[in-house]
Structure 1
Amino acid sequence: MIRSYKEIADTGLDDLYEVQKAFDNVHAIFTLMLQHFPEDSTGNAFAQLGVLEVNDWSTKVFQWCERMENELDDVDAEMQKSVQLPHHLLDLRSNDVAEAISAERKHATRWWTHLNEMRRRKELPGWVAADIGTHDEHDLLLESRKAVNQVLFGSLDLGGDQTNRVIQLG
């Protein structure tokens, strides 16, 4: 199970409130002891020490809870202000990213086409021509595009008719 830091902090805060309740219960026990033991008895002295100690720790836990609540409120406010990016990007950012990826892909496709044509005319050195413009390379290009789309947009859709080869690659 993977939990965010905020979820862990929320759980810690809930636990601190439970500790606060426990201190209240212990305080009630010491208060009862004070009422039932005579003032000059050992039991009454222990109850007085217990009340002082529980009050001190109860105050510390209460202050800690207040600080944690304030910090968590600040985190909530920051989360509300910033757009959270889950598995796929949202709204305006999604459009910006899609446009940037599309522009990069257009540029890459243009260069791939030029290199393929140069390979077909035997204008490239053999060590370059071996992998340029082949069916395998085209398939690899489409697979990498699908992987990017899946990660960013939650879809393998490339848009258009990109999975079909219109021109026979030589």
Structure 2
Amino acid sequence: MSRPYKEIAETAISDLYEAQEALGNMHAIFTLMLQHFSEDSTGNAFAQLGILEANDWSSKIYQWCECMENEMDDAKEEAQKASPLPHYLLSQRSNEVAEAISAERTHATRWWTHLNEMRRRKELPDWVSAGVGTHDEHDLMLESRKAVNQALFGSDDLGGAQQYREVAL
């Protein structure tokens, strides 16, 4: 299955920002080196060179990300101006949307389960554990899933067997 160009571009932008952050970390290391090596040492010279390279590449990455984000904004505006899709494409898109929502829900449920387990083992800070992974939060998640299904597909059926809590933990 091929990924849409938009998803590829968004992933690329995210990866570039992470690379820029890594360059920032390298910059910090080189700055520390400058503080620990005397000005006439080889280590100091390498640190200065590293700072220049990190700054140069960080600037290039930032400019590239800005350019890509602008291009994506332009593409989004053009897509909004485009004529509506024919019916057979709308049906295909509905299936794609349903699959995407299902994948997102699987991911969200997985993380809810992890957070719930961490909350039960008291591995989360108090400010996080207060509302994370609780039965009430799970019930809210199911309600919002029903609302999305109703809005998009005209049915609040969540599909498949949904695990509702039967016994309070």
Which structure is larger by alpha-carbon Rg, 1 or 2?
Answer: 1
TM-score normalised to structure 1 length: 0.49
